[in-house]
Amino acid sequence: MIFLSGLLLIAIFNSSCDNTDAQDNTITITTADSTDDNIDTVYSVDSAGREMKMLFDNQKNTVAIHLDNTDILLNGQPAASGIWYTNKHYELNGKGNDYQLLKDGKVIFTHEDDKVRSLATNKQGDTLRMVFNNTTNTAKLYLNDEPEINLTGQRTGSGIRYTNKDYELIGKGKTVELRRAGKTIFRN
């Protein structure tokens, strides 16, 4: 079943029913022409290329999942960080873009973004910690104890270039340079 973006309607589901075996795995999901601001659609792909579609209903604190021609409805649970949704047989947990779906305690789907961590120091003793997310083409930078800097990757002829409205990170080989408003604030 291929989903269309739109309003999620759950036709068969009753969480208070004692016979949950039939209902945990059998739900009907349809879409309508209008959109609902309470529903977020997220697509995730595992290392084998399988796509999992998740429709998060923020108002109802549920997620409808479509994976391998199976529709699954899970209820939100309190999580220390990230997300956690469950029903009698399934569990979805994750943080950021990383997700794991379990069925009866066994992992059936996993997605983790491709991340590279790097550390650069300069002669002045400054430290630049960098986390590059190759899946989303983004970078998170931490210069000394300053707040996190979020950047988006840009095309280059060679090397790297990540920017936002205030910052630019460029580099080639082992050399990186961070600029704020065009002025270099870190170079190793």
What is the per-residue pLDDT across 43-75, written as a single tens digit (0 to 9) for each?
Answer: 999 988 999 999 999 999 999 999 999 999 999
pLDDT of residue 38: 83
What is the DSSP-derived secondary structure letter of residue 174? Answer: T
Tokens of 37: 């601001």
Question: For the whole prediction, is pTM greater than 0.75?
Answer: no
pLDDT of residue 4: 30
- C-alpha R_g of the chain: 21
Position with higher pLDDT, 17 vs 69: 69
Q: What is the pLDDT averaged over residues 134-138?
A: 92
pLDDT of residue 36: 65
Instruction: Answer yes or no: is pLDDT of 11 > 90.
Output: no
pLDDT of residue 17: 33
Instruction: Answer yes or no: is pLDDT of 131 > 80.
Output: yes
CB atoms within 10 A of CB 47: 8
Share of the chain above pLDDT 70, in %: 81
pLDDT of residue 96: 87
Tokens of 66: 């479509």
- For residues 26 and 20, the answer to whether their CB atoms sit within 8 Å is no
pLDDT of residue 35: 54
Instruction: Answer yes or no: is pLDDT of 18 > 50.
Output: no
Q: In what order do the strands lie in the sheet with 106-111?
A: 39-45, 51-57, 62-67, 70-76, 83-86, 90-95, 98-103, 106-111
